[in-house]
Amino acid sequence: MRKQFIVAIIALLFLAVLMVPTVMSVPAKEHSDFRFTGNITQLWDEPHAGANWTNAFSVRDLNGDDKADVLVLTSSYNEVTGTETATVIAKRGYDGEQLWEEQVTGTELFLFALPAGDLDGDNQADVLVQIWGYNETTRDKTATVIVNGDIMANISGKSL
């Protein structure tokens, strides 16, 4: 029953990713993510060198200040080691101060984050971070679901 529930959550999260409006997506080697007000005044930036891709989108209040916040997702590939590093950074929306960060490095992995409403009843929005990986040697696939830094589920097998 628990495995079916977790698989259902992962499926819903995947569908939700397709519906989350993207604020900015910039493919480049070295760049910054920016958040602007309606009059195009830059509020802050998030520099990161060597990213293969980056994506940023607004989320409900993550820290209790009654203001929208931002999730920044980046991914970079190291040609020497053959590994990829994926990062999600939660930032305070109005000034870009970092609230928290999750990072994972490995081969053939993918990380994404989704706003999830208030999962724990603290009147603040929570974020689900999913990490998908594949091991070429064992041919095992893994999926990890993290809610606000706590691992909620680990699933592995050949047919995820």
Structure tokens at 137: 């040697």
Buried b (16+ CB within 10 A) or exposed e, 95-127: ebeeeeebebeeeebebbbbbbeeeeeeebbbb
What was the pLDDT predicted at 92?
92
Structure tokens at 145: 């679901």
Q: What is the pTM of this model?
A: 0.65
Amino acid identity, position 9: I
Tell me the three state secondary structure of residue 6.
helix
Structure tokens at 27: 């493919």
What was the pLDDT predicted at 34?
55
What was the pLDDT predicted at 10?
58
What was the pLDDT predicted at 106?
81
Comparing CA positions, the residue from 99, 29, 102, 32 lying closest to residue 68 is 99
What was the pLDDT predicted at 85?
87
* pLDDT, tens digit (0-9, with 9 covering 90-100), for 87-145: 889 999 889 999 988 888 888 787 878 888 887 787 778 888 877 777 777 777 777 77
